[in-house]
Structure 1
Amino acid sequence: MNCLKKTHFFYIPLSTLVLCLLFSSCKEKKEKEKRDEKKEKPTIVDVIVATPQALTSVVEANGTIIANETTELRPEVSGRLTYLNVPEGKSVAQGTVLARINSADLEAQVQRSKVQLEIATKTEERLKQLLDINGINQSDYDLALNNVNTLKADMEYTKTLIDKTVIKAPFTGTIGLRQVSPGAYVSPATVLATMQQLGRMKIDFTLPEENSDLIRIGNTVKIKLEGRDTTLRRATIIALEPQANRQTRNILVRAVLDNANVNPGAFAKVIINNSTDKRAILVPTNAIIPDDKNNQVILVKNGKATYTNVQTGLRTDNNVEITQGLSMGDSVVVTGVLFAKPDAVLKVRKVVKR
């Protein structure tokens, strides 16, 4: 009974087997057609035609506003503050006494040296008289004279230390916030306050070494202050750092800002124009594919994507100058860049006009 059941299950009608094979073959064929259709489906892109366009050399740089003069008020000697006159946020004249440090011990030392100097001077005078009559050796008199000169030098040194206990305004300017209180013990590392001269503002900015030919002492640049009035201001270049930074290869430039009421430390955008215009091939910034060593663009050639290395030059807000790698009439992909693989089939949707 079991043997009959197994034999009945094993045999399959021939017609059913043929139908299964035909169905499987059709299914595989359809799937292959779908894969081929998907594989050959072109990527839709927009292109621009490479043509020379007018290019004005405009270079932008980041700058920082600085005061004409700025300093940190620090004592030159250590001690306790006996006098403090630091008017926060107010202007003070050059030479104004801002603080004094206790100098009682130094003044006492000066008085001591005065007494010693009087005695040493009288001794030197007596020995001089004896020397004139050959009553003493020359060496004895030289020792006495040396003692007098040493005491005089000690007094001058002590007086210099006393002068250092007085902190004066180094220039006419505005005092910042006071950092200490009267009676505090201070040292040369202590900052009493900062001081700025705000009458004439400067701006420091860095520029790539390759653009150094755009900068000359006496030239003017345009300044745009961020977060304030967007009116473009003018600044006159007064100095350049002769050595480029070894890490960034940038040059530090300083200019004087004309008529700008702005706080030191503020950020500003520096705009430098080149008086010479030229014609160059420009492509949108998003068409550039950066690589480890090169920049690339995608060209449409024979309906396929061709990656081409290019060299870039000046940059504007939205475009980049191509100095090498493109020829007039080349079709450059500007949209769909991320989907266009090398040798992929491309379909140009439209040519972008500029």
Structure 2
Amino acid sequence: MRRASFLIVVLVAFVAMTVIVAVRALLPGGDEMAGRGERVLPVAVAAVPSVEFADVVEALGTARANETVTVTARVTDTISRINFESGQHVAAGAILVELTDTEEAAGLAEARTTQREAQRDLDRTNDLIARAVVPQSRLDEATAALERARARVASIEAQLADRIVRAPFAGIVGLREVSLGGLVRPGDTIARLDDTSRIKLDFTVPERFLSVVSAGMQVAAETSAYPGEVFTGEIAQIDSRIDPVTRSVIIRAEIENLDGRLLPGQLMTVAVRRDVRSHPAVPGAALTRYLDQTFVYVVEETAEGMIARQRSIELGRRAGTMVEVLDGLTAGEQIISEGVHRIRDGAAVEITREMRLGANGVMAGVAAGGSSAAQ
């Protein structure tokens, strides 16, 4: 019984001491008097920056050209001239390929001669009609003959135009797949033409995100071809139906690509950003937690020196190593950025290093004497 009573007393004393320590740690200024008698602790501090945060929906997308077409011939004939090189930028309407047109050119010359003869015959008939030498029916015949000649010329000119393959829009010509003198038929691929001045990025998101995405929202895309580089654009269209199998919807974003670095077919990681906002932010290393509360230590200057004050804050989203602060801090306040496990509320501190915080965390530190120390 004595042994059991002794254990109970020890347990009660331990619990009481734990409660006292916890209460003193939570109460502002609870350790101030004790801290005055303790040694001054060296600390690194940082001014709280304002960082841009957003709610993000992530997906994988495929890059597509703004406009793309397979260049092919309309008629069957041999190639007489090739006016482009693979990878060349061509203007809209530029002649890419010419097909052999010897027979059509001869026919056009004959048709134009016939048209000139019909025009001269019409002129003579008009003169004779004016002098009442020939009847009106002769004028009608001459006019019909001229119209037939003109139609014949237009028909042959259209046949010649079919033997000239032009670029329907400005863009980059892909690999050439024909050779001079080769026979091409309708549907045979001559080359592919892509307008990559603007990239259409198609990606799918689950239907539950339909309520949070809309046209005009900003997107940020990355590709393994350019590690660490972000390409920004905005949502242009949302598909009119949901896939009944995957229960997802296709979203199309557009990204400016004037330098032509992005190519159709590239796999890209897409992040749709909504509710973009700027809030104070702190690095994760500056946070301490107790139960369901989160704290930082704010450095205050008093008559007795620099004092660390524990302050409860409300957190939001995380961006890299920085955490959004919804309430409890304002941008510009100085917080202890490192070694917070050694600090207690009301402890006397000495600033030995000032850190500069960026959107991704600590960038650099400057010693109190003024020398720079890279982190």
TM-score (norm 2): 0.51
Q: Is the Cα contact below 8 Å between 1:77 and 1:164 reproduced in 2?
A: yes
Partner secondary structure for residue 186 of structure 2: coil
Who is 2:241 aligned against?
244
1:275 maps to 2:309: no
Instruction: From the two aligned structures, give the one with the greater strand fraction.
Output: 2
Q: Is the 8 A contact 1:75 1:187 kept in 2?
A: yes
Say if 1:223 and 1:233, in contact at 8 Å, map to a contact too: yes
- Asked if 1:69 is matched to 2:67, the reply is yes
Residue identity in the other structure for 1:105? E
Aligned length: 221
Distance in 2, matches of 1:216 and 1:167, equals 40
Q: Map 1:225-244 to 2 at 5 A.
A: 225=223, 229=227, 231-241=229-239, 243-244=240-241
Q: Match of 1:214, SS? A: coil
In 1: Cα distance, 2:155 partner to 2:70 partner? 25
Q: How does 1:335-346 map to 2 (within 5 A)?
A: none
- Show the counterpart of 2:265: 265
Given candidates 254, 257, 260, the residue that maps to 1:256 is 254
Shift of 1:134: 4.5
Residue identity matched to 1:225: T
The alignment's C-alpha RMSD in Å is: 3.1
* Structure 1 pair 224–129 and aligned structure 2 pair: CA distance change class (3 A): same
Cα distance, 1:113 vs. partner? 0.8
Report Cα offsets for 1:241-278 as digits up to 9, x if no partner.
Answer: 4x3257556544322225683321012232334539xx
CA contact (8 A) 1:209 1:244 kept: no
Instruction: Name the CA distance, whole Å, in 1 between partners of 2:269 and 2:228.
Output: 10
Q: Match for residue 97 of structure 1?
A: 95
Answer whether contact 1:107 1:162 (CA < 8 A) is retained.
yes
Deviation digits for residues 52-91 of structure 1 (CA, Å, limit 9, x no counterpart) = xxxx975443321012332222223321100113312333
Paired residue secondary structure (1:198): strand
Paired residues for 1:40-59 under 5 Å: 58-59=56-57
Go from structure 1 to structure 2 and tell me whether the alpha carbon gap of 1:222 and 1:125 turns closer, same or farther (over 3 Å shift).
Answer: same
How far apart are residue 198 of structure 1 and its match?
3.3
In the other structure, the counterpart of 1:168 is: 166
SS of the residue corresponding to residue 210 of structure 2 reads helix
Larger Cα-atom Rg: 1
C-alpha deviations, 1:74-116, integer Å up to 9, x for none? 2233211001133123334444432110111111111111221
One-letter amino acid of the structure 1 residue matched with residue 194 of structure 2: Q
Q: Pairwise mapping of residues 136-175 of structure 1 onto structure 2 (< 5 A)?
A: 136-175=134-173
Check the 8 A contact 1:214/1:272 in 2, yes or no. Answer: no
For structure 1, which runs of at least 5 residues remain unmatched after alignment? 1-55, 277-354
**CA distance, structure 2, for counterparts of residue 85 and residue 205 of structure 1:** 37
Secondary structure in structure 2 of the residue aligned to 1:113? helix
Q: Is residue 87 from structure 1 mapped to residue 78 from structure 2 by the alignment?
A: no
Letter in 2 for 1:244: R
- Is this contact kept in 1: 2:243–2:249, CA < 8 A? no
Instruction: State the match for 1:222 in structure 2.
Output: 220
- 2:69 and 2:124 map into 1 onto residues whose CA distance is 53
Structure 2 residue identity aligned to 1:129: D
Encode CA deviations 1:278-335: one digit per residue, 9 max, x unaligned. xxxxxxxxxxxxxxxxxxxxxxxxxxxxxxxxxxxxxxxxxxxxxxxxxxxxxxxxxx
Change (3 A) 1:120 1:91: closer
> What CA deviation, in whole Å up to 9, does each residue of 1:119-171 have, x standing for no partner?
22232223323433554443442232022012112212322322332223344
SS of corresponding position for 2:211 = helix
Residue 264 to residue 126, structure 1, CA distance change in 2 (3 Å):
same
**For residue 270 of structure 1, what is the amino acid of its counterpart?**
V
Residue number in structure 1 paired with 2:198? 200
Letter paired with 1:264 = P
Q: Which runs of 4+ in 1 moved over 6 A?
A: none
Matched, 1:123 2:121: yes
- Equivalent-residue separation in structure 2 for 1:205 and 1:267 (angstroms): 10
